[in-house]
Structure 1
Amino acid sequence: MSMMLDRLRRLRPVGTPGGAGPVGVPEDSRAGVPAELVAVFAALDATIAECEEVRTRSGQQAADLIAAARTEAAGLVSDARTRATGERAEIAAALQARGDAEVERTRAGARADASDVRQAGLQRLDILVAAVLDRLRADIQRTGT
């Protein structure tokens, strides 16, 4: 309250309007302005104290809420990390199984292709051997050996 009175005192009372005088606020000749305002500011003291109490309580509630939120967030992060580890393992196992199945399909396809090539080679082998023998016979007859 004294701060408000100090502010009021800075506004020097001056005389009634008229000739040039010092700068200030005109003086209220009816009653002392500070005397009137003392009661008003005294009535505000309880409200100011209540506001401070509300502000303090609100600050504590905010701090409690922030602490609770941080604790909850830390728990959520921990749970997420735990779940992520398990899910990574599951995904890795699924990908490994898929890769193994693909490898086995590729091997089976390669075996089938190799068998087809082998069969084709065996079928052509008789023809090629006959062609080589015919050529050798022809060369032998030409050379007379």
Structure 2
Amino acid sequence: MTGFRDFLTRFRPAASPGRAAPAGVPTDRSAELRAELAPPLALLDQTEAEAGSIRERAEATATSRRQEAAQRAEAIVASAREQARQVQARTAEQAARAAEGEAAALLAAAEREAVAVRDRARSRTPALVDRVLALVQEDLEADGTPKGRGGGS
């Protein structure tokens, strides 16, 4: 890289103003600029190469982390599905037990009700039979059939 003094010499007049100087060799300004800019541009090339390698490492790391995350997500989903199956089985078992208990309670209540109906029927049957016989006898007497005779003989 050129020094500060070399930089300033660019702005110094070549000769004192006055009459024309003899023709000289023109300076190659582009070669001077290339020479001046080559070292910083070389540093930029190194920096760009380093940035590229950092990007590649970052992409590899990101890919690896995505794969690990996908594997963990699959494991979590598989675990959740298994837990859901277990919960579903427990819930179905509890519902079946509850339904069986309710059915047994309903059956017991129905049996008690049936026994109560049978008992009421047994206790009421003699009185009802007597009443029905009395009504039939009244009907027979109203038709003119004597009490002591059997139906149609």
Q: Which has the larger radius of gyration?
A: 2
**Stretch moving more, 82-91 or 31-40:** 31-40
Gaps of 5+ in 1: 1-28
Q: Which residue of 2 aligns with 1:101?
A: 101
Q: Which residue of 1 aligns with 2:4?
A: none
Distance 1:106 1:34, change over 3 A: farther
Distance 1:111 1:54, change over 3 A: same
Gaps of 5+ in 2: 1-26, 147-153
SS at match of 1:41: helix
Count of residue pairs the alignment pairs up = 117
Q: Which residue of 2 aligns with 1:117?
A: 117
Q: Which residue of 1 aligns with 2:76?
A: 76
Q: Supply the distance in 2 between the matched residues of 1:40 and 1:127 (Cα, whole angstroms).
A: 126
**Stretch moving more, 41-50 or 132-141:** 132-141
Q: Once the two structures are superposed, what CA deviation does each residue of 1:18-63 show, in whole Å capped at 9, x if it has no partner?
A: xxxxxxxxxxx9x548424333221111111110111011011011
**Aligned residue runs from structure 1 range 6-45, under 5 A:** 32=30, 34-35=33-34, 36-45=36-45
- Name the aligned partner's letter for residue 56 of structure 1: E
Q: Which residue of 2 aligns with 1:144?
A: 145
Q: Supply the distance in 2 between the matched residues of 1:103 and 1:115 (Cα, whole angstroms).
A: 18
> When the two structures are superposed, what TM-score results if normalisation uses the length of structure 2?
0.67
TM-align CA RMSD: 2.2
**Aligned residue runs from structure 1 range 46-61, under 5 A:** 46-61=46-61
**Stretch moving more, 39-48 or 90-99:** 39-48
Name which structure has the greater RCO, CA cutoff 8 Å, separation 6+.
2
> When the two structures are superposed, what TM-score results if normalisation uses the length of structure 1?
0.70
Q: Which residue of 1 aligns with 2:150?
A: none
Q: Supply the distance in 2 between the matched residues of 1:34 and 1:106 (Cα, whole angstroms).
A: 104
Distance 1:124 1:34, change over 3 A: farther
